[in-house]
């Protein structure tokens, strides 16, 4: 059974949906980080809730920010922001 979950990539800040199973690896479509390298946070987890501020600060230090994938319902074009 495949389940679609919302993930946040702490490396590039992308929030995206991905189909997942217990056995597969999930990969960020923007920077190709995976749950097996630098890790991904499921947005519906307590780990993400606790790590959110640190993720934002880490990205800010590198000139990046949390943003949504184009197919995400909360996506806004950069020109609209």
The whole-chain average pLDDT of the chain stands at 89
The pLDDT of residue 25 is: 83
In which band, very low, low, confident or very high, does the pLDDT at 79 lie, cut at 50, 70 and 90?
low
| For residue 47, pLDDT beyond 80 | yes
Burial class (CB in 10 A: 0-12, 13-18, 19+), 74: exposed
To 5 degrees, how large is the angle CA 29–CA 34–CA 37? 145
Q: Which residue has the higher pLDDT, 66 or 20?
A: 66
For the chain, which residues make up each domain, given as ranges?
3-80
| For residue 75, pLDDT beyond 70 | yes
Mention every residue, 6+ apart, whose C-beta is less than 8 A from residue 50: none
pTM across the whole model: 0.84
């Amino acid at each position: 059974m495949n389940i679609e979950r919302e993930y946040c990539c702490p490396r590039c800040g992308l929030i995206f949906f991905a189909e997942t199973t217990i056995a597969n690896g999930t990969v960020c479509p923007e920077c190709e980080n995976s749950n097996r390298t630098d890790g991904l946070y499921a947005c519906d987890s307590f780990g993400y809730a606790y790590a959110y501020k640190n993720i934002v600060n880490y990205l800010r230090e590198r000139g990046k920010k949390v943003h949504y994938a184009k197919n995400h319902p909360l996506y806004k074009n950069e020109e609209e922001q």
